[in-house]
Amino acid sequence: MEDFLSKLIGKKLDVYCGGSSSLRGDVIKVERGVLYLRDEDGKHCYIAVDKIVVVWEARDDDHHAGFVPPNVR
């Protein structure tokens, strides 16, 4: 998984680790079992690679994984 995530450095990802929400950010680096993300506000997030269930490239800034905007049909 670390090797795979290392190939995505510089890309914006949605990361799901379980529960009801996902994390989104630009991949900074992957090191010693930790995924480093930076969100649009410049804040950093550190995710244990072994806790990641699903990861995918973010498609657009208006869509947040795990949430459906109101009044969408």
Kindly tell me if the per-residue pLDDT of 68 is higher than 70. Answer: no
Q: Work out the pLDDT band at 9, boundaries 50, 70, 90.
A: very high
Residue labelled with tokens 């680096």: 29
The whole-number pLDDT of residue 63 equals: 54
Length, in residues, of the chain: 73
Kindly tell me if the per-residue pLDDT of 22 is higher than 90. Answer: no
Per-domain residue ranges for the chain? Answer: 2-57
CATH architecture of 2-57: Roll (2.30)
Q: Residues 33-61, buried b or exposed e (16+ Cβ, 10 A)?
A: eebbbeeeeeeeeebebeebeebeebeee
pTM equals 0.77
Q: What percent of the chain clears pLDDT 70, i.e. is strictly above it? A: 81
Point out which residues pair with 36 in neighbouring strands: 29, 46
